[in-house]
Amino acid sequence: MALLLFLLLISLFIIGVPIALSLGLASAVTIWHGDLSPMLIVPQQLIASVNSFPLMAIPFFILAGSLMQSGGISQRLVDFSNTLVGSMTGGLAMVAIVTSLFFAAISGSGAATTAAIGSILIPAMLAKGYPGGYTAANQAASGALGVIIPPSIPLILYAIAANVSVGDMFIAGILPGILVTLSLLIFAYFFAKANGLGGSIEKSSWGDVLRAGRKAILAILMPVIILGGIYGGIFTPTEAAVIAVAYSFMIGFVVYREIELSSLVGILKHSAVTTAIVLSIIGAAGLYGRILQRLRVPDMVSQFAISTIESPFLFIILANVLLLFAGMFIEAAAAILIFVPILLPIAISFGFDPVHFGIIMVVNLAMGMFTPPVGLNLFVASQIADISIARLTWSVMPFVGIVLINLLIISMLPFLSTWLPSL
């Protein structure tokens, strides 16, 4: 039955069936064929999987991200980042990376970050003479910071699946996110130096930095308020998500005045559709995970791994390879809910901290957002830059290599993930 469950899922993926439908169909057919439970378990488990108070944070963070994306935040963050790094060699590429870091801490979505920042900076980089493939790849990889830097939907999902604190997962993502950002900035500098691409502006004065920072300060303060409130015990992550919605609406509608009442319907519709897609995947993945548990797959895999894998180092290498491969084909939310019950018990038996292992998993799956064949960020960036996915695939390979190196560093140095939550 376990083999049938896996083969059905893989077959449905291959023929292009949507992820949520693939997970649900594979589970339902396996239940029916193996007479594992009454078929009534299917709708019951779909509802039970999304009937969770912490999951309420997801639609609110999605709505907050949509409000910030429409509220004039992107351009202000670009202007501020430009005063910081725009004059350096490879300045525009660095601006894209730094702005994505700021926006990722607001939206929590890789695709939203790629679209919001890429729509401004990809045309600017192309006009400056940057190669089209590099330009789109740089933005696609930078957009993946959205799932590493808190608040992040994959971090919330992992916390729920692993039964760890959402606040701890948020705090744990900060240092790894900064590490990846610095690596991308270093690559941008050397790429620009090798190709004769200078800065986009003259060196900014401290006055320019302060003026741009003053305009962007309300946006930059949002993640500080969210994380400070959660970690300070003022409110829960779910309550923080509601505060994020109210805060982003006030900034976009009252302060910046770039959100009009007429546009709210479109913002709410977009957020509702995105939420429905995410929660459908979560519900179907919960059903799939329930069948895995019913068939004792996690127990069998754990026993086999513990008896055959001799060292934590070998385990983490094999786990990273598995997650990297899975991330190339499966959306991050589904991958987390499928693999956490299987891999986490093994990781704990080898002495890995659950929070550390969660960051390893999320960083690994973040690569799936800009690796073919189904990397969503690739499709967004390729449309903005008007280049083919085939050409972009080759251009993104150096970025995959950079994040892989960072992943190994994060895997081997647990304190990068555990130090801040332990304070």
- Higher-confidence residue: 230 or 402? 402
Buried-exposed string 250-266: b where 16+ CB fall within 10 A, e elsewhere: ebbbeebeebeeeeeee
Angle at 164 between CA 356 and CA 228, to 5 degrees: 85
361 has pLDDT over 80: yes
Span 18-33, pLDDT tens digits: 878 888 898 898 888 8
Segment 301-326 shows an average pLDDT of 83
pLDDT given at position 353: 95
- How many CB atoms sit inside 10 A of residue 27's CB? 28
pLDDT given at position 107: 67
Span 93-138, pLDDT tens digits: 888 898 888 887 766 677 777 887 888 888 888 888 889 899 999 9
73 has pLDDT over 80: no
pLDDT given at position 322: 86
Q: Which of the four pLDDT bands, split at 50, 70 and 90, describes residue 403?
A: very high
Two tokens, residue 144: 């993946």
- Which of 68-72, 161-165, 275-279 is predicted least confidently? 68-72
Residues 164, 355: contact at Cβ < 8 Å?
yes
pLDDT given at position 342: 86
Q: How does the average pLDDT of the chain come out, rounded?
A: 84
Angle at 91 between CA 86 and CA 95, to 5 degrees: 70
Segment 283-288 shows an average pLDDT of 84
Two tokens, residue 16: 């292009």
Enter the pTM of the model. 0.81
pLDDT given at position 304: 77
Two tokens, residue 291: 């069948």
- How many CB atoms sit inside 10 A of residue 418's CB? 18
Segment 163-170 shows an average pLDDT of 89
Span 251-283, pLDDT tens digits: 888 888 888 888 888 989 988 988 888 888 888
Residues 137, 370: contact at Cβ < 8 Å?
yes
Span 171-218, pLDDT tens digits: 999 999 999 999 999 999 999 888 887 666 677 778 888 888 888 888
Two tokens, residue 26: 């594979």
Residues 244, 61: contact at Cβ < 8 Å?
yes
Span 333-343, pLDDT tens digits: 778 888 888 89
Share of the chain above pLDDT 90, in %: 18
Residues 361, 332: contact at Cβ < 8 Å?
no
227 has pLDDT over 80: no
